Amino acid sequence: MIVVVAPGQGSQTPGFLAPWLEDSAVRDRVGAWSDAIGVDLVAHGTVSDAETIKDTALAQPLIVAAGLITADALLADGRRGLVGGVAGHSVGEFTAAAVAGVLEPTDALTLVAERGRAMADAAALEPTSMAAVLGGDADEVAAALESRGLVPANHNGGGQTVVAGAADAITDLAANPPAKARVVPLAVAGAFHTRYMAPAVERVAPVAAAATVQDPTLPIWTNADGSRVDDGRRFVDLMVQQIANPVHWDAVMESFSTAGVTGIIELAPAGALVGLAKRGLRGTPTVAIKTPDDLPAAIELLQAATTEAEATA
C-alpha cells in the first residue's frame, strides 16, 4: 500500500513552483487560485526570495498549492485508485484534505490563506521561535525544555523533536544544548502548534465552520494522534485545533506501519517527510517529488506496488 504525504511549512525554497508552471494549464490554475485568495502564488513561487516566502502568510498557501498541483499530476489517468491513503504534516494536512476529497482545492487554499495570516498575526504579538532537537537522552531533553519554559511542538519521530517558545529561550537552548543533542534553530516566525497560536485558532475556526466539507474518499490520518479519520467535518475541526496543539507525526508513521504501508510518495516541495520516513520507517521505499522530473519514479512506485499486491492476492 502506497501513501501520499504532504509537507509542512519550512519546506519551501525560492523558485520551487517554476518548473511546474512551465505547463500553461497549471499556470492558469495557480493564477485562478491567486485571484481567489488574494496572494500572487505565481510570483511568490517563482521570483520571490527566501526572506519573502518565509512569511507565514505566503509560505502556507504556496506549500499547499504546490502539493495540489503535484497531486493532480501524480494521480491523473486513473492513478488515484492506486493510492492507499494520504496524510499531511501541519499545514500539509490541508493538501491531504483536498487530495482525499474533504475540501475542494480552492476552499482548502482559501482556508489555509486565512490560517497563514492568522498565525502570522499571532506570532507578531510577542517574540517566539522554534528549533529542531536531534538526539539526546529523552529525560535530559525534557528537563532542558521545562527549565526554559519550552514545549514540544512537532513530535516527528526518528529522533527529531521540534520545540517552541520564547525566542530568547530558543537561543539559549541552541547555545547550551542537552548532552549528545544537537539543536538547530528554525527560520520561522513564531511558536507554532503551541498556546501562542490560540488567537489564530479563534480566527480560523469560524471560517472553517462555514466551509463545505465532505467525508474523505481516501483513507486519511490526523496529526492529532495518528489515527485514521473517516468524518470530514471532524478532520477539519482537528486541523483547526492543531494550530495551537502539537503535531504527532511519529504517531502517523506508527499508523502507516500498522496499516502495512509499503511505500511513501511525498508531494512538492518534498524532502523533509521522506527523510523522517527513512529513519522512522527504515527500509520503506520512498520518492520525493520536487519537480516534474520526479514524477516517473513516483508513478513507477505506485504501479509496482499495485502489481505486487495483485500478484499476492
Which residue out of 11, 90, 129, 255 is catalytically annotated?
A: 90
Which residue out of 89, 155, 193, 248 is catalytically annotated?
A: 193
Which DSSP state fits 221? B
Among 59, 166, 71, 74, residue whose Cα is nearest residue 117: 59
**Spatial distance between the Cα atoms of 246 and 209, rounded to a whole number of angstroms:** 21
193 belongs to the catalytic site: yes
Strands (E), 127-211: 128-135, 151-157, 160-166, 181-185
DSSP per-residue codes, 6-50 = E--TT---TTTTTTGGGSHHHHHHHHHHHHHHT--HHHHTTT--H
Per the omega criterion (within 30 degrees of 0), is the bond before 269 cis? yes
**Spatial distance between the Cα atoms of 105 and 198, rounded to a whole number of angstroms:** 26
Q: How many Cα atoms sit within 13 Å of 217 on the Cβ side?
A: 11
Determine the 3-state secondary structure of 263 from DSSP: strand
Cell triple for 106: 480552492
Paired with 151 in beta bridges are 164
90 belongs to the catalytic site: yes
Catalytic residues: 90, 193
